[in-house]
Amino acid sequence: MLSGFLFALAAGLMWGLVFVTPLLLPEYPAAMLVAGRYLAFGLLAVPLALIDRRELKRLSRDDWRDAVKLSAIGNFLYYLTLAAAIQRAGGPLPTMIIGTLPVVIAICSNRRNAARDGHYRWRDLAPALLLIAAGIACVNQVEQAAVAPQAMGRYLQGAALAIVALACWTWYPIRNADWLRAHADRSPRAWATAQGLVTLPMALLAFGMLALAQAAGLPLLPAGFDFPAGPRVWAYAGLMLAVGLFASWLGTLCWNEASQRLPTTLVGQLIVFETLAALVYAQLHRGGWPQGLAVVGVVLLVGGVCWALRLKPVLPGQERHLPASPT
């Protein structure tokens, strides 16, 4: 139990780096952050592919097509919108929005996968949803009060982009679980490696498109941006390598280790370490202590997510035999 808890904590601490990197590199547009992160991840996947080469040979053309779709939406589009959201709205609000992920996935799966996994009764989910909504409202109140009137449009853009990022990472685990359930005889590690491999040509293509855009004078990069490494070469390269290694690979490895040691219901609750780590990193970068209302908002969000994750789905045929919800 202790080692599983520490593995989950380590995963959350590493995943939190994803949220603070756009704040540490504000001169770099989101497209550069995405291309750099997944170039590093793709390069790291190459030696891993040698280890899993037998399993990778079993993948069909349709499987590789699924890997491309999952990586394009769950990796590239997700981080593109998340990084852009953080650079526009700051760290806390997008982090809170992404922190609702476990509950949003449960809601989206409630009807889609009811026959396979069961469903949650809406009256059981209602208290969790109210706590989450109240928590996001508290943080939004604090963040919005600090935004200058002329920057309000940019702040709202950031909130909208965070919702798009949330949609991407809601779609990804559901579709990824569909593939794993349909291919129970395949190695999950090899499947993760396959998704890492397909990010490499995507990242190279992204760098190529950015180079063409700059040559053509298209406004994808800031005026005078020193492509391809930007104004802070070593900071950019170091952070991209760190995020590619720790967030994209080692963090997932630690999470898998925790999942093998802890009950599933407990592991689901410990995903809040990612949200808390991201909020702490953002606050450390900003300096000073958070306002009391922001702390209340974080507590409400974590409480709502934990409430929802403690619920058990109603399996097909059980509805008539269950008592009314105690909530």
| Cβ atoms of 196 and 42 closer than 8 Å | yes
Flag whether pLDDT at 208 surpasses 80.
Answer: yes
Task: Report the Cα–Cα distance between both ends of the chain, in Å, rounded.
Answer: 29
| Cβ atoms of 170 and 99 closer than 8 Å | no
Q: How many residues does the chain have?
A: 327
pLDDT tens-place string over residues 126-148? 898 899 899 889 998 888 888 88
- Determine the pLDDT at residue 164: 97
Nearest to 173 by CA among 266, 98, 276: 98
Question: Residues near 8 by Cβ (< 8 Å), separated by ≥ 6?
Answer: 254, 255, 258, 262, 267, 270, 271, 273
As a whole-number percent, the residues of the chain with pLDDT over 90 amount to 40
- Determine the pLDDT at residue 327: 45
- Determine the pLDDT at residue 264: 59
Q: What is the mean pLDDT of the chain?
A: 86
CA angle 90, 95, 96 (to 5 degrees): 115
**CA distance readout (Å), 153 to 79, 149, 150:** 21, 8, 7
The stretch 28-41 carries a mean pLDDT of 93
**CA distance readout (Å), 198 to 45, 67, 78, 240, 243:** 9, 7, 16, 17, 17
Flag whether pLDDT at 117 surpasses 70.
Answer: no
Flag whether pLDDT at 291 surpasses 90.
Answer: no
- Find where tokens 């040979």 sit: 57
Q: What phi and psi, each to the nearest 5 degrees, are found at residue 119? A: -140, 165
Neighbours of 63 (CB within 10 A): 16
Most confident of 46-55, 169-178, 286-295: 46-55
In the 8-state DSSP scheme, what is residue 314? Answer: B
- Find where tokens 């606050």 sit: 283
The stretch 76-80 carries a mean pLDDT of 94
**CA distance readout (Å), 246 to 156, 271, 285, 316:** 30, 16, 19, 40
Flag whether pLDDT at 322 surpasses 70.
Answer: no
Task: State the burial class of residue 288 (Cβ atoms within 10 Å of its Cβ: 0-12, 13-18, 19+).
Answer: exposed
Question: ω into residue 219 within 30 of 0, thus cis?
Answer: no
Q: Which residue has the higher pLDDT, 168 or 321?
A: 168
- Determine the pLDDT at residue 204: 95
Cα distance between residue 96 and residue 276, in whole Å: 9
- Determine the pLDDT at residue 267: 67
Band of pLDDT at residue 177, cut at 50, 70 and 90: confident
